[in-house]
Structure 1
Amino acid sequence: MVSSTHEAMHRIFQHDLRLFSRLSRMLGFPLPPPVEVTVLPTDLTESAPVERRVDTLLRLDSADDGSLLLAIEAQGKKDTAKPASWAYYTAYLWTKYRLPTALLVVCQDRTTAEWAGRAVHSGPPHMPTLTIRPVVVGPHNMPVITDPAEARADLALATLSAITHAGDPDIDAILKTLSTALQGVPEEVADPIIEFTAQGLGNRPAREFWRKLVAVDLSFYKSFISEEIRDEGRAQGRAEGRAQGRAQQGAKFILAVLDARGIAVPTDARERITTCDDLGLLDQWVRRAATVTSVEGIFTLEDD
């Protein structure tokens, strides 16, 4: 089953079609800015009953260097079957479109990135025939963006930085920077960035930190995740309100029983009863109030 993290790692390139052109300069092989970028179908299935799908497929058309295809794969862990699949993708696309074909693999840990970036030959050592060596993006070569101005200048790149560094110690600072950069950005621009970031963090602890940032720093947005957080907050608030109401009723009942039985309740004991929010403990005190001979007995008797 494809995870939301997997989707965010490659779909960010569909969201911002010129992201790879900017990214290539950071990777050491600057491509000219494309005149046009087209999202192509990702289904590489042939008539034979073998289904092959690349994660994202872009066609980049440049005024100077012509056109090329860019296949983008999100890779979460080592998979010995992948190099053969990647070789198939690139060979098939080259054959189908008759265009130079490049492969970009997006990773979230250095071990997977190092594995994905090695050259794999399909033939024997003395006859390599077909070699697959993807360009890899991961925590080893993506910048750690902690300057809000830098993040605001390229929100898609800052999002990719957050996704690829999701497991790094610096992730909280990266996410705080991104949330700061999004403040004041039009909602239609901020919403997909908020969602891609949440998806890309997966089930890591940083996802909860991002949710809190969205709830506090970006509370004026109405994205799916911000609405989800607000709904949870409202539900929690209602639950806490109900619990607080029950606690207040319990405290009033205890004091009423003690008063009816003529048992004095000093100020400190009254405060202890009225400020208690442990419903289980209040239930014990309610039962004890009917039998104790002094208010101290409520607090010192063994559990019923």
Structure 2
Amino acid sequence: MPNRGHQMWLELIRLRPALAADLLDYVCKGLVPSTAHARMEPTDLSEHKPVSYHADAVVTLGKDRPELAVIVEVQQRRDPQKHLTWPAYVATARARLGCPTVLLVISPKAGVAGWARKPIPLGHPGLVLRPLVLGPEEVPVLTDAQAVPSPELAFLSAAVHGPGPDGPKVFEVLLDCMETIDADWAQGLMDEVLAVLPRAARNLLEGMMKTETGEYRSELFRQVVHETQVDFVLAMLSSRGVTVPEEARARIFGCTDVEQLLEWGKRAATADSIKDVLG
């Protein structure tokens, strides 16, 4: 079952297919058509009924007709079976769409990215598939908000490089970008990045969202933190099998005190009833 770290890449590409072209350009310059218009294609790459092949995402680039197809696969672990299915994806998509086709493998883990880069010999003399791989080294470290191509790339930069030495810089760029886009979209991106970051990096980002007085920099960030903490409380209660009546749920959602929500979250981790949490 794909986890949240896997799904966030695909969700961004589904919402903005042109992101696949941006990422491909970081891996291999010159492949993206100059007149590229991006559109999502069906991910079912099956040709024969007994065998079913489903890629994570398929994006075509072109103006009036597909000029390049990009098969996107998000890989978080080594899987030898992919060396059999990836060539099938490329061949089938090329036959179905009638245009050059490339395989773009996204792996936020350096070790897995190294494995994915290995050439895949197909047996026929000279026929070798060399996957194009976007690993941590290829994801841009965006430290200047004025030079960010898109908010989605600022988000990916923060998600990948936030735990590293450039964390404060990429987080600052992320926060600046989030202030320039639709509040609901920004809130969704912030929720995702807070969910995938390790604890230390998440604490750093949450600290940067506050002013010197301890208040959050904007209403957006107050909403993000509030929803994150509410989700945490409810998730803990659900994992414990605790029923949450509508009155209690309304009280949790209505609480604007982050410290109180944190306390409720701690209690929920060992609670047997809603009274153990809310008193």
Q: Structure 1 length as normaliser, TM-score? A: 0.64
Provide closer, same or farther for how the CA distance between residues 237 and 193 of structure 1 changes in structure 2, counting only shifts above 3 A: closer
User: Of the candidates 142, 164, 170, which is equivalent to residue 166 of structure 2?
Assistant: 170
> 2:251: which partner in 1?
none
Task: Point out where structure 2 has 5 or more consecutive residues left out of the alignment.
Answer: 211-215, 234-255, 265-279
> 1:161: which partner in 2?
157
Q: How does 1:1-304 map to 2 (within 5 A)?
A: 1-30=1-30, 31-62=32-63, 67-123=67-123, 127-128=124-125, 130-151=127-148, 153-165=149-161, 168-198=164-194, 201=196, 205-207=200-202, 209-210=204-205, 216-220=216-220, 226-229=226-229, 234=257, 236-237=259-260
Provide closer, same or farther for how the CA distance between residues 93 and 177 of structure 1 changes in structure 2, counting only shifts above 3 A: same
Alpha-carbon displacement from aligned partner over 1:101-150 (angstroms, at most 9, x marks no partner): 11111111222212212211021xxx446422111112112221122333
Cα deviation for residue 226 of structure 1 reads: 4.9
Are the counterparts in 2 of residues 68 and 101 from structure 1 also a CA contact under 8 Å? yes
Q: Determine which structure has greater relative contact order: mean sequence separation of CA pairs < 8 Å that are 6+ residues apart, divided by chain length.
A: 1
Task: Point out where structure 1 has 5 or more consecutive residues left out of the alignment.
Answer: 242-304
Cα deviation for residue 198 of structure 1 reads: 4.0
Moved more, 187-196 or 114-123: 187-196
| Separation of aligned partners in 2, 1:162 and 1:41 | 30
Q: Structure 2 length as normaliser, TM-score? A: 0.69
Q: What SS class does the counterpart of residue 67 from structure 2 fall into?
A: strand
What is the identity, as a one-letter code, of the residue corresponding to 2:5?
Answer: T
Cα deviation for residue 238 of structure 1 reads: 6.8
Structure with max Cα Rg? 1
| Separation of aligned partners in 1, 2:79 and 2:36 | 36
Are the counterparts in 1 of residues 58 and 71 from structure 2 also a CA contact under 8 Å? yes
Provide closer, same or farther for how the CA distance between residues 78 and 142 of structure 1 changes in structure 2, counting only shifts above 3 A: same
| Separation of aligned partners in 1, 2:94 and 2:178 | 39
Q: What SS class does the counterpart of residue 55 from structure 2 fall into?
A: coil
Are the counterparts in 1 of residues 154 and 177 from structure 2 also a CA contact under 8 Å? no
Cα deviation for residue 156 of structure 1 reads: 1.7
| Separation of aligned partners in 1, 2:223 and 2:187 | 5
Q: What is the alpha-carbon root mean square deviation over aligned residues? A: 3.3
Are the counterparts in 1 of residues 33 and 67 from structure 2 also a CA contact under 8 Å? no
| Separation of aligned partners in 1, 2:8 and 2:85 | 21
What is the identity, as a one-letter code, of the residue corresponding to 1:48?
Answer: K
Are the counterparts in 2 of residues 12 and 160 from structure 1 also a CA contact under 8 Å? no
| Separation of aligned partners in 2, 1:3 and 1:202 | 14
Alpha-carbon displacement from aligned partner over 1:57-90 (angstroms, at most 9, x marks no partner): 1111147x96121110111122222121111111
Cα deviation for residue 189 of structure 1 reads: 4.1
| Separation of aligned partners in 1, 2:209 and 2:226 | 6
Provide closer, same or farther for how the CA distance between residues 87 and 175 of structure 1 changes in structure 2, counting only shifts above 3 A: same
Are the counterparts in 1 of residues 191 and 228 from structure 2 also a CA contact under 8 Å? no
Q: What SS class does the counterpart of residue 43 from structure 1 fall into?
A: coil
Q: How many residues align?
A: 235
Provide closer, same or farther for how the CA distance between residues 220 and 75 of structure 1 changes in structure 2, counting only shifts above 3 A: same
